[in-house]
Chains A and B, each alone.
Chain A
Amino acid sequence: MGRFCVSLTSAKDNRDKATVAFVVANAAAGSEQETMVFLSTEAVRLAVPGYADDIREEGFAPLAELMAKFTAAGGKVYVCSPCFKKRGLDETKLVAGATIVGGAKLVEFLAGGSPCVSY
């Protein structure tokens, strides 16, 4: 199985990017790639339960639904630890499939030979 990374830095500041990132992540997970979405800077807010519920871009499924399908298919969501802390978010409350990680976890995933697309 190949690996695939999607790096996302936007949340409600750019709903279009946030949505398309998870559409592409679903394409990768649906194509049987070991897929990881890396949320950093503003995108870490997407790991907070309920935050994505009102992100519904025209022509796309609601973001919360895209995220749920992604994790149900085995996709992983890594959440940048310092970005999360900086925003004063509660690390004990995360959406299903999300894990708080430091940079080493991202480097480990990419250094293993994964392509990465960024939004």
Chain B
Amino acid sequence: MQRPMEPRADDHWDAGEMGCGELVIELRARLRALAPRRVLRLVALDPGAREDIPAWCGLTGHALVLAAHPVYHIRRKEN
């Protein structure tokens, strides 16, 4: 369920305890399935996500618009 203060997201994925490579390879597929500029709300409970999600966004060019572990909002890049 979306928190009251959270901005709107277009899609949602609860990754549960998934982490590391298993998390980001699935995250890649989910972002690719979104239209440009759409926002994915991710819930990632793995403690490594705090560092990994910002790093992943930096590598891929998708924008991290909210990071409030375990909730992340990621806006898909143009292409």
Q: Which residues of A contact B (CB under 8 A)?
A: 2, 22-33, 60-61, 66, 69-70, 73
Contact B22 A60 (CB under 8 A): yes
Contact A66 B59 (CB under 8 A): no
CB distance from B75 to the nearest CB of A (A): 16
Contact B25 A29 (CB under 8 A): yes
Counting from the closest, the 8 A-B pairs by CB-CB distance are A26-B21, A30-B25, A30-B24, A27-B21, A23-B21, A26-B25, A31-B59, A30-B28
The size of the chain B interface, using a CB distance under 8 A, is: 16
Which of B21, B28, B56 makes the CB contact (< 8 A) with A22? B21
Residues of A near B52 (CB, < 8 A) are: 27
Residues of A near B55 (CB, < 8 A) are: 31
Main secondary structure of the interface of A (DSSP, over half): helix
Assuming the contacts A31-B56, A31-B60, A32-B60, asked whether A24 and B25 have C-beta atoms less than 8 A apart, the reply is: no
Give the CA-CA distance A30 to B20 in the complex, in Å. Answer: 10
Give the CA-CA distance A73 to B59 in the complex, in Å. Answer: 16
Give the CA-CA distance A70 to B59 in the complex, in Å. Answer: 18
Residues of B near A31 (CB, < 8 A) are: 24, 28, 55-56, 59-60
CB distance from A81 to the nearest CB of B (A): 27
Which of A2, A60, A70 makes the CB contact (< 8 A) with B25? A70
A-B contact pairs, 22 of them (CB 8 A): A2-B59, A23-B20, A23-B21, A23-B22, A24-B21, A26-B20, A26-B22, A27-B20, A27-B24, A27-B25, A27-B52, A28-B21, A30-B25, A30-B27, A31-B24, A31-B55, A31-B59, A32-B59, A66-B21, A69-B26, A73-B28, A73-B29
Give the CA-CA distance A25 to B20 in the complex, in Å. Answer: 10
